[in-house]
Structure 1
């Protein structure tokens, strides 16, 4: 459904010093430099897959999404989406995709969402009968009722986002490009949008490429993730493999029946903290079974929990420390 091979995007920008002197110098003798927003990106997404697209701000995610949608031309490489080259903007291609950006809207601000939906139906050549049926089905899934008849400006952020999703899916696209669809929503609204996307994918078999800074979106919806950093594709594979790659140690939390000194845990991994009856250790995966067995044998353990570090913490540490 989506095939990307050697995709790159290079922008030529003005190389100007700040201040009046820099402006005058640039006016007399213009200088430019190349900025690489995406470099040699390669991946394939099968029909019906839900794939997460991760990376820090400026990593190249939105630039890549825009190339996949045909909004900007790639500098190098080949892209095929739903059997089309996006940059040609063929009408059949445009009918088969949709792009939802959390920070931008397509609904008309002063009109009810229903009016915008009627306009979209006319643009895509959807009959009144089919439009009414699709609006009814999608509004039920999104739990939208009277909100569709109120001006967009009077809707809450969560209600507007759900109406945006309804408008984006009215023409039943095969490929969904979702850029921060839960941006700014409260926890309950985020959960409802995630559930809707999962149900929609299950019901229609649509292919979904989802970018989000909320890791709950990715972990709930996307078994596979793409991770970008400074324009390069750093990881393409299952989310749990990314966790294993970024976190060489597992976290072990113990609750003991009685306090024990820190020296008692020598040789049992790396001690993070030992406070009263609660102990936190970090253990290599290949040593985990043996260490847990020794802990249960040596101490009176009330509770034991083994976990991976939170994925958002791992990725944040990765970019802050520049380990990519």
Structure 2
């Protein structure tokens, strides 16, 4: 299977200027500026196969959006190699943009004051889509995203959820083989998110559309992507399957105890001192959660139940969101 995206030792550096303090400092800044080089993306390499749905995740400032902007040709890399759909995004710009769709959750590609369908018609001409191709493809898109009633409304009168569904449809007018989604579900309610996820799965299955998704909503990743690429301070710290990530770093359980009376953390620490347990206070009164390895689970429950009066016990798997948070907090590089 061919690669939709090939990235090799990709780097993007920015100059960050700092002002000197005081009037003399301001005067000196007129002639010489203090600056330092910041590497937003630091020599990353990865490939994405045609038809893959990949989650590209990381904390704020990790370099996700900078990467997307280089892959789409908006930014020019400082160094490294980028091939997307067999082309260099910066050198073959006009031809290249015909093969991608982009949705930025916080930016709009629709014209604010005209009806949605007029924006669609303008984009149809920009991408030189024939009437027949537009009709065949967009009828399905409009119906699946349930935006028919919105087509005659100006974009400025749409809610955020309505606008994001229209933005997604606009990115697909020319039925591109590759779709970049940067925070597409930010601020959306659950029902709209579910609708968008279902639609993305459909176009992936129907057209073999490759999707690169950046998001802070881990449930989006779990619903859509089998593979994740994790970025931290401009470097890739994990590239592999979501299941493997859970298997390697998510081993363990969370046991939530609701005690009948107040219990101090020090008491719980002493009680389970020889076991692999971390205690965490719950949001509700007299609730404590034990993060414990599977081998020590029965011992923890046995000791706690034998010593304290318990009102309730819940046993949960460690969530993907918590696994990812733990990886970032520990600052460990995983291969």
Distance 1:264 1:13 in 2: 52
Matched, 1:91 2:94: yes
Q: Number of matched residues?
A: 319
Partner of 2:82: 79
TM-score (norm. length: structure 2): 0.83
User: What residue is the counterpart of 1:239 in the other structure?
Assistant: 242
Rounded to whole Å, the distance in 1 between the matches of 2:68 and 2:331 is 24
Aligned residues: CA RMSD: 3.2
**Unpaired runs of at least 5, structure 2:** 260-266
Partner of 2:277: 270
Paired position in structure 2 for 1:6: 9
Q: 1:164 to 1:276 in 2, by over 3 A?
A: closer
Matched-pair contact (CA < 8 Å) for 1:253–1:279 = yes
- CA 1:295/1:46 → structure 2, altered by over 3 Å: closer, same or farther? same
* Matching residue of 1:183: 186
Change (3 A) 1:19 1:55: farther
Q: Distance in 2 between matches of 1:183 and 1:292?
A: 40
Superposed CA deviations along residues 152-175 of structure 1, whole A, max 9, x for unmatched, are 111111111000100100100011
* Map of 1:311 onto structure 2: 320
**What is the deviation of 1:249?**
3.6
2:149 aligns to what? 146
Tell me, in whole angstroms, the C-alpha distance in 1 between the residues paired with 2:271 and 2:22.
62
Q: 1:118 aligns with which of 117, 121, 128?
A: 121
- In 1, the alpha carbon distance for the partners of 2:300 and 2:17 equals 63
Structure 1 length-normalised TM: 0.86
**Which consecutive unaligned segments of at least 5 residues does structure 1 have?**
none
Whether 1:284 aligns to 2:293 is yes
CA distance in 1, matches of 2:36, 2:241: 37
Task: Tell me if structure 2 keeps the 8 A contact 1:79–1:86.
Answer: yes
**Distance of aligned partners of 1:271 and 1:109 in 2 relative to their CA distance in 1, 3 Å threshold:** closer
Per-residue deviation at 1:245?
Answer: 5.0
